[in-house]
């Protein structure tokens, strides 16, 4: 048997982004011996890339803001499909989480009177995003890392060992969540990316904080780490994923040159005054304000422009509609032949702000375009188009505790968890989500670990099976007895990305999704024969072969759920079912592993009904607005 060293911990946190680090800090502070494990270097998680800011209703720039308004905006943005209790907790607790970051050393941009500055973003009624230029994620991670180091120093003073209670395993990948014979979590199976060495972290509680799935799509703003690992780990451990059809296509990714296609152009560009134009120079977003938002957005350019100076007496410009609306509008303009030379539209700040202000407020954007596209955004417009950005669907969790449904000892927080954002996330609501639910996951995981469940033993058979699975690519092409030439994991990945991009992308059609499912089934069979050469020492082809299992699983979830939901809502747009149907508002789609593998696919779908929204929260909306979203019987109730 392949040997795997074992270590004992109370809580294992998989992922060292914002959610994982916040969870680890909380678990350690609650007394749990906590291990954090991440694929990349400590401090290099995807969160580092976050640009615009953290949404929290501190009311520093407009005193009208409060948690109720934030809750309302979040529910509207998610088209009322949000797990409302999560949206409530998020809106209530986000300000404390931002303040806390400041006490741990975060340096936010300030207002003139010295408070944490907050900026406008799409779908937020008031300026709400606490930020550090357009490098907010970097500051967030830096601060959480610093806090972790300070806790390790405390532990060293007490025990002589920095890693006695909090240890980071960097550049290591988890391939399985392990369970005991009674179905309780008992640890994780992992490998070191550099050496290929296997090891097991034994623990009664595991927090998944692995981020998103964007690398299943060809054009994406996401980093290499986003291969849907946590989603797949949860599925394989028996937990359902909820509403995987909702994938956010950010309206503004770079479209040119091809090597950087998909890289994000932050929404702060529009929040700070940037406007979208088509090839005829028209600010086309005024033609795309949907009925549900009509009363809340400016009807003329003049009114929209006045709003930046006088938001109390004017309505916001439609460039700041929620992302799903803007992405669809850009798609329509390009399709109608009014796009930019490279298949996007124009995003212009150069005529809206002095060059100096652009360089100060949007330093990363300035450099990104200058260096990658040779475009000076202080002098000319950017070309932008939709890019796969975020997954709203994820592990189904209990709202208060972040516990994964149906698997004792498993927790999930951050982008890997579903429910919070409904059918569409508002910008800035992810960083706040990471902090609010990262803390909660750490808290409840630590409580669970010290509770009556005790410390379930790790069955040897599971470790052996996980090791065999991880080694299979080295006998590629023969694993399923097929023989023949091994499949190249890079080719399979490219075909998967192209399939998801073309057939389950921003605008969806029934026949295309059926085709996608057929192609995914073929790819799944071929992926079993994915083979790699060489050995386990740093072997990126092997890593990709292992990641393919995860991408294929989550892609099938996305395609299956998207085919099932016969309406358009938020991040899910169907050309053949263009309306948002009130009857679908109460329906969640759960994906589970289907049992024995069949030609039908590996995912089974189940419909569940959401809990009615609590009456005091419903009372925050006008009845006229609720009528647009809620089904007849809900209104009656």
Asked if 18 touches ligand FAD (CB under 6 A), the answer is yes
Q: Is the peptide bond before 257 cis (omega within 30 degrees of 0)?
A: yes
- With CB under 6 A as the contact rule, which of the stretches 32-40, 82-90, 94-102, 590-598 interacts with ligand FAD? 32-40
Query: Could you write out the three-class secondary structure of 557-604?
Result: HHHHHHHHCCCCECCECECCCCCCCHHHHHEEEEEEEEEEEECCEEEE
User: 258-274 b/e with 16+ CB inside 10 Å = b?
Assistant: eeebbbbbbbbbbbbbb
Q: Which residues contact 213 (CB under 8 A, 6 or more apart)?
A: 222, 226, 227, 228, 231, 247, 391, 551, 554, 555, 558
Give the nearest distance from C-beta 90 to ligand FAD in angstroms.
Answer: 11
Containing 421, the helix (H) or strand (E) segment is none
Chain residue whose CB lies nearest ligand FAD:
17
Interface with ligand FAD, residue 53, by CB under 6 A: yes
Query: Does the footprint of ligand FAD cover residue 414 (CB under 6 A)?
Result: yes
CB half-sphere exposure, 388, CA atoms < 13 A: 28
Q: Which is nearer to ligand FAD, 469 or 510 (CB)?
A: 469
Q: Which residues pair with 187 in a beta bridge?
A: 178, 202
391 strand-pairing partners: 247
Site string for ligand FAD, 373-392 (x = CB under 6 A): -----------------x--
For the chain, what's the residue count? Answer: 637
CA proximity to 26, closest of 401, 585, 584: 401
Segment interacting with ligand FAD (CB under 6 A) among 225-233, 307-315, 444-452, 553-561: 225-233
Distance of CA 279 to the CA centre of its chain: 32
The answer to the question of residue 327 lying near ligand FAD (CB under 6 A) is no
Q: Note whether 210 binds ligand FAD by CB under 6 A.
A: yes
CA distances in angstroms from 418 to 62, 242, 257, 299, 390, listed in the order given: 30, 6, 34, 35, 11
| 3-class DSSP state of 95 | helix
Indicate which single residue of 19, 75, 362, 504 sits in contact with ligand FAD (rule: CB under 6 A). Answer: 19
Among 4, 11, 12, 45, binds ligand FAD (CB under 6 A): 45
Candidate list 431, 504, 551, 589; residue touching ligand FAD; CB under 6 A? 431
Report if residue 254 touches ligand FAD, rule: CB under 6 A: no
* CA quadruple 251, 253, 255, 261: dihedral, nearest 10: -140
Q: Which of 263, 280, 219 is nearest to 373 (CA)?
A: 263
Edge to edge, what strands does the sheet with 198-202 contain?
5-8, 198-202, 185-192, 172-179
Phi, psi of 313 (to 5 degrees): -115, 10
- Among 4, 11, 12, 14, which residue interacts with ligand FAD (rule: CB under 6 A)? 14
Q: Is 65 in the site for ligand FAD (CB under 6 A)?
A: no
Using the rule CB under 6 A, is 50 a contact of ligand FAD?
A: yes
Closest CB to ligand FAD among residues 37, 467 = 37
Q: Which of 415, 487, 556, 567 binds ligand FAD (CB under 6 A)?
A: 415
- Where does this chain touch ligand FAD (CB under 6 A) — which range of 204-212, 349-357, 497-505, 613-621? 204-212
Per annotation, catalytic residue among 33, 165, 315, 323: 323
DSSP-assigned letters across all residues of 370-393: HHHH---TTTSPEEEEEEEEEE--
For ligand FAD, which is the closer residue by CB, 137 or 505?
137
Positions in 119-178 near ligand FAD (CB under 6 A):
136-137, 173-174
Contact between 15 and ligand FAD (CB under 6 A)? yes
Closest approach of ligand FAD to the CB of residue 518, in Å: 28
Give the range of 102-110, 410-418, 512-520, 615-623 binding ligand FAD by CB under 6 A. Answer: 410-418
* Residue (234 or 298) nearer to ligand FAD, CB: 234
The piece of 17-25, 278-286, 491-499, 529-537 that touches ligand FAD (CB under 6 A) is: 17-25
Pair of tokens at residue 469: 């699975």
403 interacts with ligand FAD by CB under 6 A: no
In the bound state with ligand FAD, the residue whose beta carbon lies nearer, of 12 and 289, is 12
Q: What is the DSSP letter of 429?
A: H
Give the residue among 340, 332, 296, 343 at the shortest CA–CA distance from 317. 296
Task: Find the shortest distance in angstroms from Cβ 365 to ligand FAD.
Answer: 11
Going by their DSSP bridges, the two strands 166-169 and 172-179 should be labelled as unpaired
Q: Is 17 in the site for ligand FAD (CB under 6 A)?
A: yes
The verdict on whether 323 is a catalytic residue reads yes
For ligand FAD, the binding residue among 28, 33, 39, 218 (CB under 6 A) is 39
Name every residue whose Cβ is closer than 8 Å to that of residue 295 and which is 6 or more positions away in sequence: none
The three-class DSSP label of residue 154 is: helix
Q: Which stretch binds ligand FAD (CB under 6 A): 40-48, 193-201, 288-296, 349-357?
A: 40-48
Q: Which is nearer to ligand FAD, 49 or 362 (CB)?
A: 49
State yes or no: residue 251 binds ligand FAD (CB under 6 A): no
93 contacts ligand FAD (rule: CB under 6 A): no
Tell me: does residue 237 bind ligand FAD (CB under 6 A). Answer: no
- Catalytic residue positions, numbered: 323
- The site for ligand FAD (CB under 6 A) is made up of 14-20, 37-40, 45-47, 49-53, 136-137, 173-174, 209-211, 221-222, 225, 229-230, 264, 390, 414-416, 427-431, 434
């Amino acid at each position: 048997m392949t040997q795997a060293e074992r270590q004992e911990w109370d809580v294992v946190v998989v992922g060292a982004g914002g959610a994982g680090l916040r969870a680890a800090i909380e678990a350690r502070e609650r007394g749990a011996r906590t291990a954090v494990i991440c694929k990349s270097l400590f401090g290099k998680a995807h969160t580092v890339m976050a640009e615009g800011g953290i949404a929290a209703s501190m009311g520093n720039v407009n005193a009208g803001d409060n948690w109720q308004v934030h809750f309302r905006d979040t529910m509207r943005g998610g088209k009322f499909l949000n797990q409302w209790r999560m949206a409530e907790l998020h809106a209530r607790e986000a300000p404390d989480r931002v303040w806390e970051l400041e006490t741990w050393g975060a340096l936010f941009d300030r207002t003139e009177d010295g408070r944490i500055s907050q900026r406008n973003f799409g779908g937020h009624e008031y300026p709400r995003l606490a930020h550090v230029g357009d490098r907010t994620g970097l500051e967030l991670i830096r601060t959480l890392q610093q806090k972790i180091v300070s806790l390790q120093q405390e532990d060293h003073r007490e025990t002589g060992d920095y890693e006695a209670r909090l240890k980071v395993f960097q550049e290591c990948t988890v391939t399985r969540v392990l369970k005991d014979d009674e179905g309780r979590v008992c640890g994780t199976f992992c490998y070191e990316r550099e050496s290929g060495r296997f090891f097991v972290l034994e623990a009664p509680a595991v927090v998944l904080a692995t981020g998103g799935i964007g690398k299943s799509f060809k054009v994406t703003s996401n980093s290499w780490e986003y291969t849907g690992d946590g989603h797949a780990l949860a599925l394989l451990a028996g937990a359902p994923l909820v509403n995987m059809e909702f994938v956010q296509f950010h309206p503004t990714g770079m479209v040119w040159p091809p090597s950087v296609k998909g890289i994000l152009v932050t929404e702060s560009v529009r929040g700070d005054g940037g406007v979208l134009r088509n090839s005829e120079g028209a600010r086309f977003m005024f033609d795309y304000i949907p009925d549900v938002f009509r009363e809340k957005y400016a009807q003329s350019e003049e009114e929209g422009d006045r709003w930046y100076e006088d938001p109390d007496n004017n309505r916001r410009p439609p460039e700041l509609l929620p992302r799903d609306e803007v992405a669809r509008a850009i798609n329509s303009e390009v399709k109608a032949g009014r796009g930019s030379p490279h298949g996007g539209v124009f995003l212009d700040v150069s005529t809206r702000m002095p060059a100096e202000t652009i360089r100060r407020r949007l330093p990363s954007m300035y450099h990104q375009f200058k260096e990658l596209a040779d475009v000076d955004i202080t002098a000319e417009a950017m070309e932008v188009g939709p890019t796969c950005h975020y997954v709203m669907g994820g592990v189904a969790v209990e709202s208060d505790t972040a516990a994964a449904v149906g698997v004792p000892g498993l927790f999930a927080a951050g982008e890997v968890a579903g429910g919070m954002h409904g059918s569409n996330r508002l910008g800035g609501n992810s960083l706040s989500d990471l902090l609010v639910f990262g803390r909660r996951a750490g808290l409840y995981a630590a409580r669970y670990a010290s509770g009556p469940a005790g410390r379930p033993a790790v069955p040897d058979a599971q470790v052996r099976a996980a090791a065999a699975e991880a080694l299979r690519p080295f006998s590629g092409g023969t694993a399923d007895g097929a023989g023949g030439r091994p499949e190249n994991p890079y080719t399979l990945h490219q075909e998967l990305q192209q399939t998801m991009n073309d057939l389950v992308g921003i605008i969806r059609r029934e026949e295309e999704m059926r085709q996608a499912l057929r192609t995914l089934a073929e790819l799944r069979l071929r992926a079993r024969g994915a083979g790699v050469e060489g050995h386990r020492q740093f072997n990126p082809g092997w890593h990709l072969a292992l990641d393919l299992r995860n991408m294929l699983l989550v892609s099938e979830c996305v395609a299956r759920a998207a085919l099932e939901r016969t309406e358009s809502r938020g991040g899910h747009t169907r050309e053949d079912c263009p309306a948002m149907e009130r009857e679908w508002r109460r329906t969640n789609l759960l994906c589970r592993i289907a049992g024995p593998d069949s030609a039908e696919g590996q995912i089974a779908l189940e419909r569940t009904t959401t809990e009615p929204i609590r009456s005091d929260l419903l009372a925050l909306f006008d009845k006229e607005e609720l009528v647009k979203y809620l089904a007849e019987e809900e209104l009656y109730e």
